Structure 1
């Protein structure tokens, strides 16, 4: 009676061993050899498995879903990066335009300044020339006789005559006034007095 369990256990143990030696070990050995052969031949067993899985409807849909999802994410990132690049290019163009505008304004301001300086120099030169010419006129009236100068001055505009009379020396002024008729002499005397008073109040 005691040997009955041992006899029953022996077939179970031998069946398990038989399964390991006959079925499991050869399968593992075959898989190992297949992986080795594929690797040595330059084939990627996982890529090959994925290609074959594409032919199976269920597995193909799983790979396609993963691929499409990954592709959508990459496309969205690419679109975002392209938009960012365009924004930066637009900003750079705007800054370059503003810089060009500032440079143009500075150039115009420089040209306007140069034009004004040239105009001032020209007017200054004309003024100096007019001063020299006026001094020459005054000297001319001081050198000619009072008898000739008096009728010329009375024919001039009062403003011009007074300007000359106020710049000749006192002896010449007295001689010219003496050669004028009393009415003209009185009028020029009054005008000269007013001009001196105006000049004194300005100073």
Structure 2
């Protein structure tokens, strides 16, 4: 009786294991079928399933860290990245150097223009000083001439002045003292004295 009950228990256990295995097969086959249908649908819709899965896996924290670890563990990729950064920096340095050279050229031209302007200014100042000196010399010479005529006797200076052109004569006469001028005009002919007196009157304000 006891052996019969034990055999019945073994049979029920075997049936239970078979039932569970059958359910597992049914679920597994259903999943495989669902995945296959999904792949077909995505493929027909033009979705790259492999790339999509790869992108999604990169967003998963532990998988993403694995990708990074793989990249870090790849010396060739690291060297390539470093080389690209170095090339980029060298290009930027070269561009900056060109800009600096351009600015230095502009500054050099400006400095040359400033030096040229300074030299021209100095030359103009020298010419102006020379002109002033010349004018001062002419004025001094003219003063000396007037002083000479004033010290001369009116009888001698009057004939000389009348022989000059009227502009020079008027310039000399207008620079004489009033008393000396009156004496010189007295020694001239009436016509000369009248003509020069008129011009003196026209010249004075």
TM-score, normalisation: structure 2: 0.58
Give matches, 1:1-203, under 5 Å: 69-70=77-78, 72-197=80-205
Structure 1 stretches of at least 4 aligned residues deviating more than 4 Å after TM superposition: 66-72
Q: CA deviation at 1:99?
A: 1.5
Alpha-carbon distance in structure 2 between the residues aligned to 1:173 and 1:76: 101
* Alpha-carbon distance in 2 for matches of 1:98, 1:110: 18
Deviation at 1:142, TM superposition (A): 0.7
Gaps of 5+ in 1: 1-65, 198-203
CA distance in 2, matches of 1:165, 1:88: 77
1:79 offset after TM fit, Å? 2.7
**Which whole-Å deviations, capped at 9, do the CAs of 1:143-193 have from their partners, x for residues lacking one?**
112222222222222222111101111222112212222222111111111
3-state SS of paired residue (2:175): coil
Give the CA deviation at 1:70: 4.7
Instruction: Give the alignment's TM-score, normalised by structure 1.
Output: 0.58
Structure 2 unaligned blocks of 5 or more: 1-73
CA distance, structure 2, for counterparts of residue 88 and residue 179 of structure 1: 90
Aligned equivalents of 2:89 and 2:163: distance in 1? Answer: 89
Q: What is the count of residue pairs matched by the alignment?
A: 134
Q: CA deviation at 1:107?
A: 1.3
CA distance in 2, matches of 1:139, 1:105: 50
Output the CA distance in 1 between the equivalents of 2:102 and 2:163: 69
Shift of the alpha carbon at 1:72? 4.5
Give the stretch that moved more between structures: 85-94 or 119-128. 119-128
Partner Cα separation in structure 1 for residue 162 and residue 82 of structure 2: 101
